[in-house]
């Protein structure tokens, strides 16, 4: 479950920021870490800067916020998850996970809360502290999260 939360809420590192919002739901199969990095690597240097990652986070938030109220509900997260990964067992469980990110306690995730969680995820991935995340760092985080979710 933590792995799914990582992909949807903080997985802003794994969103096609350079693509239109429809790209978030076009692929029904989970993509490799490399396939997820490439669209966000706008300067094509093989790694994500904090700015590229933040841009991806904002794009993901806008995609999940289907009613355009500048907040994402657990229902919107569930819908996004079901469309992005139809085989996921994560649907319906976001309310528990959301509590860890919902700083103001309103039961919704606003853009600032999402950005803070995404920045924290970026900092966890950036293990060499060079303000960029390489493919190797993304793959290592992906593997750590998969291990924790088992």
64-113 pLDDT, tens digit each = 999 999 999 988 988 888 887 776 666 566 767 788 889 999 999 999 99
CATH number at residue 107: 1.10.238.10
48 forms beta bridges with: 133
- Res 78: pLDDT: 84
Number of domains, the chain:
1
Looking at residue 30, its pLDDT comes to 54
In a domain, 24, yes or no: no
Sign of CA dihedral 7, 118, 138, 134: positive
The 10s digit of each residue's pLDDT in 13-60 is 344 333 334 444 444 445 788 888 888 999 999 999 999 999 999 999
Range(s) of the domain holding residue 63: 2-19+32-149
Tokens (6 digits) for 106: 């309103």
Residue 55 lies in a domain: yes
Following CA atoms 19, 10, 75, 89 in sequence, which dihedral angle do they give, to the nearest 10 degrees?
100
Is residue 107 in a domain? yes
State pTM to two decimals.
0.76
């Amino acid at each position: 479950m933590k792995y799914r939360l990582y992909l949807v809420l903080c997985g802003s590192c794994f969103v096609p920021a350079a693509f239109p919002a429809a790209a978030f739901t076009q692929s029904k199969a989970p993509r490799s870490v490399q396939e997820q990095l490439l669209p966000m690597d706008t300067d094509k240097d093989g790694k994500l800067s904090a700015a590229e990652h933040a841009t991806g986070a904002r794009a993901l938030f806008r995609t999940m916020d289907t009613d355009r109220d500048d907040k994402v509900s657990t229902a919107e997260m569930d819908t996004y998850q079901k469309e992005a990964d139809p085989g996921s067992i994560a649907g319906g469980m976001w309310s528990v996970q959301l509590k860890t990110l919902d700083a103001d306690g309103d039961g919704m995730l606003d853009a600032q809360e999402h950005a803070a969680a995404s920045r924290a995820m970026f900092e966890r991935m950036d293990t060499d502290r060079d303000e960029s995340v390489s493919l190797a760092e993304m793959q290592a985080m992906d593997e750590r999260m998969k291990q924790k979710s088992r």
